[in-house]
Amino acid sequence: MTERNVSSSHVSELSEAAGAPPTQESSAKDMLISRLLASMISLTVVGLGAMAILTQHYYGRTSKLGGAEVSLDGSAAVGMGVATLFLGLVPLALWFRSKRPALVWAVVCIFAAAISFYTSIYGLKR
């Protein structure tokens, strides 16, 4: 079989197996899978934050040994829900094509989550 009869997908598979750098098509396909997985994780975390905002109850995590569950109610739960929502938006930075907008997106989301977390903790003492 000559090289002319081999399709381009087989050539890219052979070049990847031989240790050649991946083609743009294969790296775009791998990045799409990563982006979709990050989007599903983001959707889950944003959903947890939205539920905390809507119900005004934030349930913490328990340990395997039956440790006490930390729960926030009212405005503290809403603040933690907003912080969780902003943290859930960070993985969406993978959808940006260049590094600078992705970095700005991630920094703004983390900064907004930090402000929300700070107000949920120290906003109650007033």
Q: Is the Cβ–Cβ distance between 95 and 105 less than 8 Å?
A: no
* In the chain, domain spans: 39-122
Other C-beta atoms closer than 10 Å to the C-beta of 60 total 11
Tens-digit pLDDT profile for residues 36-93:
999 999 999 999 999 989 988 887 766 666 655 667 788 888 888 999 999 999 999 9
- Predicted TM-score (pTM) of the model is 0.68
Phi and psi (nearest 5°) for 71?
A: -135, 140
